[in-house]
Amino acid sequence: MEPKKNPKSNVGRNSSLYFAVGLLLMLFLAYYAINYRTYDKSEIELAKLDVEEEIEEEIPITQQIQVPPPPPPPPAAPEVIEIVEDEEVIEETVIESTEVDQETEIVEVEEIEVETIEEDVEVPFAVIENVPVFPGCEKGSNAKKKKCMSEKIAKFVNRKFDVDLASELGLSGRQRISVLFKIDKTGSITGIRARAPHPGLEKEAKRVIGLLPKMKPGKQRGKPVTVPYSLPIVFQVQD
C-alpha cells in the first residue's frame, strides 16, 4: 500500500510564487544600490559671504575732443546807394483807338485762298479698301485683285532675278531675301529695302523690284494713299 502525502506538507507547490517574489526583491535592492548617491557635507560660513560686494567695471578713460566753434561770418558790406540824376526822358507809347466812325472807309477784302497740305498716309496692303492694281489685274473684286497682284509680282521676280548670282558669290543652300517697298500715291515704286545673307543679293533684289511697272495707286476712303508691300524671295542654290 502506497503511503499518501499530506498536501500541506508539499514544499514545492508554491515554488514559482516564491521565486517571483524573491526575484522582485533582488531587483529592487539592485536598483536602489545603483541609484544611491552620497554627497560630501561641508559647512558654509554665511558670515564670510559678501553679498553686497559689486563687481566694478573698469571704464576706459577717453579724451573728449573739443570742436572749435565756427568762425564768425564776415561783416556785411555797407550798402552803396548811387544817386542818378533824373535826366532821361521816357517816351510814352500812344495807343491809337481802333474804333471806326461813319467817315472811315471800308476796304473790301478779297477771298483768301487756303492751301491744303496733303499728308502722306500709309495704309497696309492687308486692310486697304482699294488695293493697288497691277497691270492686267483690273477686273474682279478687291480680294481677287490682291491675289492677282501677288501672283504677277512673284512671276515677275522669278523671271528677272539672277539666281546664279548666289553661286558666284560662294553661297550654297537655301537663300531667303526679305524685300520691302512702297507703292506711292502715283503708283510708282519707292523706298525699296532688302535684307539678305550677302550684300550682292540685296543689290540684285533692289534692282529687280525697281523694274516693276507703274501701277494704279491704292485708295482709302476714295483718296490715293501710299501702300507698303513686303515680298520674301526664297530660292535654292544649285550645287
How many domains is the chain partitioned into structurally? 1
Q: Is the pLDDT of residue 46 over 50?
A: no
Average pLDDT over residues 61-90: 64
Place 47 in a pLDDT band, splitting at 50, 70 and 90: very low
pLDDT tens digits, one per residue of 199-233: 999 999 999 999 999 999 999 988 999 999 998 98
- Which pTM value belongs to this model? 0.49
220 is a domain residue: yes
AA identity, residue 94: V
231 is a domain residue: yes
Biggest CA–CA distance in the chain, Å, is 184
Which of 191, 192, 205, 199 minimizes the C-alpha distance to 163? 205
Question: Three-state SS across 107-147?
Answer: CCCCCCCCCCCCCCCECCCCCCCECCECCCCCCCCHHHHHH
C-alpha cell at 121: 498716309
Region for residue 132 given its phi and psi (left: phi exceeds 0; alpha: psi -120 to 50; beta: otherwise): beta
Question: How confident is the model at residue 19, as a pLDDT?
Answer: 84
Which of 157, 138, 142 minimizes the C-alpha distance to 211? 157
Q: Is the pLDDT of residue 104 over 50?
A: yes
182 is a domain residue: yes
Average pLDDT score, the chain: 77
3-state DSSP call for residue 25? helix
Burial class (CB in 10 A: 0-12, 13-18, 19+), 198: middle
pLDDT tens digits, one per residue of 152-207: 999 999 999 988 888 888 888 888 999 999 999 999 999 999 999 899 999 999 99
210 is a domain residue: yes
Residue with cell 559647512: 43
Domain interval for residue 209: 142-237
Q: How far apart are CA 128 and CA 123, in angstroms?
A: 6
222 is a domain residue: yes
Question: How confident is the model at residue 51, as a pLDDT?
Answer: 46
7 is a domain residue: no
AA identity, residue 28: F
Average pLDDT over residues 53-64: 54
Question: How confident is the model at residue 139, as a pLDDT?
Answer: 87
Average pLDDT over residues 58-83: 65
157 is a domain residue: yes
The CATH number for 196's domain is 3.30.1150
Q: Is the pLDDT of residue 115 over 80?
A: no
Q: Is the pLDDT of residue 116 over 90?
A: no
Residue 23 or residue 41, greater confidence: 23
Place 49 in a pLDDT band, splitting at 50, 70 and 90: very low
Question: How confident is the model at residue 44, as a pLDDT?
Answer: 45
Sign of the four-CA dihedral 207, 208, 211, 213 = negative
AA identity, residue 13: R
Residue 61 or residue 224, greater confidence: 224
